[in-house]
Structure 1
């Protein structure tokens, strides 16, 4: 029981850090209108949503592919943003 509480606390902390990072990049996107910052903000918000879903799922359900596909989408978006920024 206590391991579940610790796991939920860690998931909540990671979710909060992802939201703060997303807001940080969103602030720079509003200043510069550079899509690099917009893609980073979206990817961190996706990572926050993924952790939010994990908090409410039973621990056996962590192997769901749609949870990991959200994580994959976020990291692919980060890779696309970096490649797009360095291409020009």
Structure 2
């Protein structure tokens, strides 16, 4: 639930600023929330849950790419 609140928080900032950094963070927190919800609600044995951690991997890649793009924009301007 906390990840969903963070996603909505960053989505609100994206709507006012149209800064892609906030959109990336909102998407990443949404994916983290989905991953945690699936992890908590799944009845899959622990040995077979490793595919659920791909949500975390994708979320962290989105955060890294968003920060990288934002730093590239400020360097050019």
TM-score with structure 1 setting the length:
0.75
In the alignment, what sits opposite 1:22?
7
In the alignment, what sits opposite 2:65?
80
Which stretches of structure 1, 4 residues or longer, exceed 4 Å deviation after superposition? none
Structure 1: stretches of 5+ with no match in the other structure? 1-15
| Alignment size in residue pairs | 73
In the alignment, what sits opposite 2:26?
41
Query: What is the root-mean-square deviation in Å for CA atoms of aligned residues?
Result: 1.6
1-side partners of 2:36 and 2:55: how far apart?
10
TM-score with structure 2 setting the length:
0.85
CA separation of 1:27/1:57 partners in 2, compared to 1, >3 Å: closer, same or farther? same
Shift of 1:68: 1.0
